[in-house]
């Protein structure tokens, strides 16, 4: 079984100026921007949960004199989200802990438990990419299809618009990105509520968007949304940035967790409902087995001490009208 290899930390006379080489790297906290695109406040009380909602109510329409009042109904939707167990154990020989000249073995081992804070972010990137890097399975949205899809579970155009909440990428230059950005804004405004009326208002878009993109697109993204490009004409007229001039708020998030070099995602900053969510059943708990524990048969028989961490949580996709993928 894997355990901490302490061989290089046992020699006499070792100096400790670099014992924090990895401890100083703060890569075990979720990105603060995650709260813009994922609901992190939904709790859990069981190993799975069923959710339900009514679809959009009908809208008022003309009632011709002499006729019966127009009638229409609305459906309802139910979907399920499971909770999973997460854990990690780190162990070492008790003699290695005692002989560790850096006196940092336990301190570094405990950083393994800090990685629980990354679970929501790791789950989020599984949800949007349809991967199982962290989650054992990726759930569908309540309408029966993936997070991003052109059609819903009935085969109809998702949200009443051709292409649904996915757009084919035009290219990887700044001008291509701006073109696709405006396609996404128009797509958001074209979404319908299932009763023939617009789902989102222009005011919703005024709160801006967050764009999550791969590292390979960082330069093109910054040229598209941040840089004020200067003209090269003989008149030296400044060329404006159309996105900035239109006062669109665009927050960029370059992530190494995106595996496709050309795919990117647009999330509304203030949607009526976040398109996905994290559910916390039990926060991280720490348990240990040490030589000094009177009930530790494991240490007495193997000379192995350990610390382990456990938590229970899951993630799901809500109706994702607040997000659009730009994918190849």
DSSP code for 240: P
Tell me the pLDDT tens digit for each residue of 215-226: 999 999 999 998
pTM reported for the whole predicted model: 0.90
Collect all residues with Cβ–Cβ distance below 8 Å to 324 and sequence separation of at least 6: 148, 165, 166, 167, 184, 187, 188, 265, 266
User: So what's the pLDDT on residue 224?
Assistant: 94
Question: What mean pLDDT do residues 94-120 have?
Answer: 89
Question: What mean pLDDT do residues 11-20 have?
Answer: 76
User: So what's the pLDDT on residue 141?
Assistant: 98
pLDDT(239) > 70: no
pLDDT band at 265 (very low <50, low <70, confident <90, very high): very high
Tokens of 193: 């509520």
Q: Pick from 147, 194, 149: which is nearest to 318 by CA?
A: 147
Distance in angstroms (rounded) separating the CA atoms of residues 168 and 200: 22
User: So what's the pLDDT on residue 236?
Assistant: 46
Tell me the pLDDT tens digit for each residue of 118-169: 999 999 999 999 999 999 999 999 999 999 999 999 999 999 999 999 999 9
What percent of the chain lies above the pLDDT cut of 70? 93
Distance in angstroms (rounded) separating the CA atoms of residues 289 and 96: 15
Distance in angstroms (rounded) separating the CA atoms of residues 105 and 19: 9
User: So what's the pLDDT on residue 228?
Assistant: 61
Mean pLDDT across the chain: 91
**DSSP assignment of 9-36:** G-STT---TTTTTTTT---SS--TTHHH
User: So what's the pLDDT on residue 121?
Assistant: 97
Distance in angstroms (rounded) separating the CA atoms of residues 203 and 188: 12
Higher pLDDT: 177 or 241? It is 177
Tell me the pLDDT tens digit for each residue of 182-238: 999 999 999 999 999 999 999 999 999 999 999 999 999 999 998 764 444 444 444
Question: What mean pLDDT do residues 29-47 have?
Answer: 93
């Amino acid at each position: 079984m894997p355990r901490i290899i302490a061989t290089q930390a046992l020699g006499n006379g070792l100096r400790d100026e670099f014992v924090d080489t990895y401890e100083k790297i703060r890569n075990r906290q979720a990105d603060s921007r995650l709260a813009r695109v994922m609901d992190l406040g939904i709790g859990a009380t069981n190993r799975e949960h069923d959710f339900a909602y009514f679809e959009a109510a009908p809208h008022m329409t003309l009632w011709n004199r002499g006729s019966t009042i127009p009638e229409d109904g609305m459906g309802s939707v139910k979907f399920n989200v499971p909770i999973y167990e997460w854990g990690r154990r780190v162990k070492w020989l008790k003699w290695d802990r005692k002989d560790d000249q850096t006196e940092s073995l336990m301190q570094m081992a405990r950083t393994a438990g800090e990685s629980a804070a990354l679970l929501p972010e790791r789950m989020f990137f599984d949800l949007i990419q349809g991967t199982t890097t962290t989650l054992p399975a990726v759930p569908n949205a309540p309408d029966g299809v993936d997070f991003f899809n052109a059609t819903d579970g009935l085969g109809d155009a998702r949200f009443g618009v051709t292409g649904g909440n996915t757009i084919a990428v035009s290219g990887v230059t700044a001008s291509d990105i701006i073109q696709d950005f405006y396609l996404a804004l128009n797509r958001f405004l074209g979404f319908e509520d299932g009763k023939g009326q617009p789902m989102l208002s222009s005011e919703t878009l005024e709160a801006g968007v967050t764009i999550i993109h791969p590292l390979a697109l960082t330069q093109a993204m910054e040229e598209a949304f941040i840089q004020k490009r200067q003209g090269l004409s003989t008149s030296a007229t400044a060329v404006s940035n159309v996105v900035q001039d239109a006062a669109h708020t665009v927050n960029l998030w370059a992530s190494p967790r995106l595996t496709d070099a050309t795919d990117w995602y647009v999330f509304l900053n203030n949607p009526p409902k976040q398109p996905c969510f994290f559910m916390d059943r039990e926060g991280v708990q720490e348990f240990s087995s040490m030589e000094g524990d009177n009930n530790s048969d494991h240490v007495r028989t193997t000379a192995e001490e350990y610390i382990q961490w456990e938590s229970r949580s899951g993630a799901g996709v809500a109706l994702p009208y607040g997000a659009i993928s730009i994918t190849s």
